[in-house]
Amino acid sequence: MAASLMNILDDLEARLERTQAELQALREENQRLKQQLALQNAPEPSEPGQERAATAESHSEGAPEPMVTKSEASDQAISEPAASAPQAVPEHNEQDGPAEIAQTVQTAESAPTPSPHTLLNQWYERYPNAFFKGHTKPLKVGIHQDLAEREEWPNKLIRRALANYVNLPRYIKAVRTGAERVDLDGQPAGKVDKEAAQHASEKRGEKKESESPKKAQTKPKAVATKPREVLVEQAEREKSESHKPLSLEDKLLGLQQKFKGR
């Protein structure tokens, strides 16, 4: 129980570090967007500046001042709110980003940790080309690492669920020399070598030996019942023979033996 609590705490600490790293990345992205918006909205020298120079020259010569300056003032008044408005967008994104990350972390933490048997049943549905309920194929060597990358559960839980599968009789029977191994997607991932096949055959032998004593214990009981039945049959026969009526010859023999004895 203590070991599982330690694994949960380690997992939570790792997730917290990931969320902090993501928050830092979002802040840096927000700062970069602000800088880009400031560069885009910076006033550039263009034709209005030339027009101002022309109006200044015409004013110095005594010509009437054109109405362009009013339009320029209105353009500046419009451009200034437009430049200030987009800056609020990344700040809103900065506030929404951590909230969404925190929500995903809370949902992941609130999900109850399944038992190894329950997790194995989920794998039957999630990886139907690797985990089989009927005809079984040997799994890729080191497949627990692939599962650790795809699954969000602790490594200890993943190893226990995987041990429940590889110790099934149908899986041990499938591990034979030259049999093709598969990965989580059902793709070929090598073949079973002699050492693995020998280890599986030893497992099969241990299971057969463990089952044979049970059968040997049941047989003596059946053998022990036979002598009792034989004794009962013999006693019944003796009783039936003693109750049979004696023939005349038997009676004469009995009388002769009595006289001889006298």
Query: Residue 253 and residue 258: Cα distance in Å, rounded?
Result: 9
- Asked if residue 164 and residue 107 are part of one domain, the reply reads no
Look at residues 96, 111, 126 and tell me which one is the last residue of a structural domain. Answer: 111
User: Taking a C-beta distance cutoff of 8 angstroms, is the pair 164, 117 a contact?
Assistant: yes
Q: Are residues 121 and 190 in the same domain?
A: yes
In the prediction, which pLDDT does 149 show? 93
Looking at the fold, whether 21 and 93 belong to one and the same domain comes out as yes
- Cα R_g (the chain), whole angstroms: 47
The dihedrals phi and psi of 203, each to the nearest 5 degrees, come to -65, -45
Q: Which residues contact 215 (CB under 8 A, 6 or more apart)?
A: none
Identify whether residues 98 and 123 lie together within a single domain. no
- Measured distance CA(177)–CA(174) in Å, rounded: 9
Digit-coded pLDDT (tens) for 138-191: 999 999 999 999 999 999 999 999 999 999 999 999 999 999 999 999 999 999
pLDDT value, residue 190 = 92
* Structure confidence at residue 12 as a pLDDT band (50, 70, 90): confident
Q: Report yes or no on 257 lying in a domain.
A: no
Q: Tell me the CATH number at 181.
A: 1.10.1710.10
Q: Is the pLDDT of residue 29 over 50?
A: yes
Q: Containing domain of residue 178, as a range? A: 116-197
**Do 5 and 25 fall within a single domain?**
yes
Shared domain check, 155 and 89: no
Same domain, 15 and 121: no
Are residues 7 and 96 part of one domain? Answer: yes
Among 197, 227, 250, residue at a domain's last position: 197
Confidence grade of residue 62 (pLDDT, cut at 50, 70, 90): very low
Confidence at residue 84, expressed as pLDDT on a 0 to 100 scale? 45
Which residue is it, tokens 């997730």? 15
pTM passes above 0.75: no
CB 143 within 8 A of CB 162: yes
| 143-150 vs 155-166: helix crossing angle, rounded to 10 | 130
Alpha-carbon torsion angle 226, 227, 230, 234, nearest 10: -170
Same domain, 123 and 137: yes
pLDDT in tens, 202-232: 888 766 656 555 555 655 555 445 566 667 6
For 7-16, 25-34, 121-130, which range has the lowest pLDDT when averaged over its residues?
7-16
User: With left for phi above 0 and alpha for psi between -120 and 50, is residue 142 left, alpha or beta?
Assistant: left
Average pLDDT of 50-55?
Answer: 52
Q: Give the rounded percent of residues in the chain with a pLDDT score beyond 70.
A: 56
Using the predicted structure, report yes or no on whether residue 100 has a pLDDT greater than 90. Answer: no
Of the CA atoms within 13 Å of residue 133, those in its CB half-sphere come to: 8
Question: Does residue 139 fall inside a structural domain?
Answer: yes
